[in-house]
Chain A
Amino acid sequence: MNTKMKVLALALLGLAGYAGSAVAGCPSSPVPPWTSVGALGGTATIVAPGYAGTACHLDSALTGDASSFATVEDDTPTAEVRYRAQFIINADNLANQGLVDAAYIFSSSGAAGPSVQLSVVGDGAGGRLVSFIVLNGAAVNSLPLAAGENRVEFDYNTTGGTFSAWVNNNVEASPNWSTPITGTATVDTAFLGLAGATPSYLTSFAGTTVGFDQFDSRRSTFIGF
């Protein structure tokens, strides 16, 4: 698993992937560079191979009820008023995901509570969507995911009053979605992995893995690929 974001300052400089696993095989734990890993009613494991050339990725699966989670946690952000993040998700195992089969895949929160949440849900036509829920900004939208690996990036900018999202899109000036936001909640913590699924998701996809890799977060610089 390539987790660039251990310290925001390092990420700002565009430095230092987590390359140790490429040589030595997959680590048994994602900690470090993640602050912690939590799985209650689910599993969060590191497996080979990784995505887009890395050696390993994170497999997250839920097996319990709606309170279940299987996530890694990054506590290095500090009251961030602007927060960009990108990761790769591969949700191909969620075959025939229905319109109400949904689970969180990312969430961030701060002193004022949750700020940004991302979820995966079926599109009713055999595909799936990533939903962007800006809780403290009164904005929500969903964008299609392709089969296989998808790069999902967003820019939560409370000082500029905007939220923008890119899916498999390397052009900073042309986000797939951008909207004004009014929220001022900062980011102190980020979670990556499955959590908080709907009852139908848990019925249909108990134990089904969704893969994540190459998480990166920064304060202001477009991440891209």
Chain B
Amino acid sequence: MKKLSALIALALFAAPVAYAQDGLSCATSIVIPGGTQTYSTNTTTNGATIYNNYGPLASPSNDAMYTFTTGASAPGAGGTIRLDSADFSAATYLLDSCPAGLGGPTPIGVNATVGGQITLPALLANHQYYVAITGTAAGGAGAQGTAGWTITPPYPVELQSFEVD
């Protein structure tokens, strides 16, 4: 009974969250949990102009932003972000920051080939990274649609258990 009460209390506490993780800005990036995750991202219905460019890569089309944070141990190179499918000229970019403004940083990993992937470089410990789903410069402003992609992070899944007695 105590556990149920605690869960209800937690749910009530969590309900009035100030913002959603909708992927439409850096601040509201969708959090990628540990372990392999597969997404279907529609940048037409759930995208926004977060950046006009990622370094030298022009990006006039909509973006959707995801994020993950590494743990206390710095992951070595490895892990992938694979573009499984796309009905537009899609690109996936790995960013080591997500600063304010319309000029985005140069990605530290890039891919625009369906079936291709970003192999993650060595990452910093306790660092927040971002994955942008967007269109290529060649695709122009109309490069938006649905992209399927899979991230296999280099860090292990951290199983967490909470219990309120």
Closest chain-B Cβ to A40's Cβ sits at a distance in Å of 15
- Whether B109 contacts A131 by the Cβ 8 Å rule is no
Determine the residue in chain B with the shortest Cβ distance to A194: B56
For A102, A123, A142, the residue with the greatest tally of chain B CB atoms inside 10 Å of its CB is A102
Closest chain-A Cβ to B142's Cβ sits at a distance in Å of 12
Q: Is the interface of B mostly helix, strand, loop or mixed?
A: loop
B54-84 toward A: CB 8 Å interface, digit per residue (1/0)?
A: 0111111000000000000000000000000
Determine the residue in chain B with the shortest Cβ distance to A101: B110
- Cα distance A119–B111 in the bound complex, in angstroms: 18
For B106, B109, B137, the residue with the greatest tally of chain A CB atoms inside 10 Å of its CB is B137
Please indicate the chain A residues that have their CB under 8 angstroms from the CB of B110 in the complex. Answer: 100, 198-200
Q: Does A147 contact B (CB under 8 A)?
A: no
B27-69 toward A: CB 8 Å interface, digit per residue (1/0)?
A: 0000000000000000000000000110111111000000000
Stretch at the interface among A31-39, A132-140, A160-168: A132-140
Q: Which of A66, A122, A132 contacts B106 (CB 8 A)?
A: A66
How many residues on B have C-beta within 8 angstroms of the other chain's C-beta atoms? 26
A105-147 toward B: CB 8 Å interface, digit per residue (1/0)?
A: 0000000001001011111110001011101001111100000
In addition to A99-B112, A133-B53, 19 A-B residue pairs with Cβ atoms within 8 Å of each other are: A66-B106, A99-B91, A102-B57, A104-B56, A117-B53, A124-B89, A133-B52, A133-B56, A133-B103, A140-B53, A140-B60, A141-B140, A142-B140, A196-B55, A196-B56, A198-B56, A198-B110, A199-B109, A199-B110
User: Which residues of A line the B interface, CB within 8 A?
Assistant: 66, 98-100, 102-104, 114, 117, 119-125, 129, 131-133, 135, 138-142, 196-200
4 shortest A-B CB distances, which residue pairs? A119-B56, A131-B58, A100-B110, A99-B112
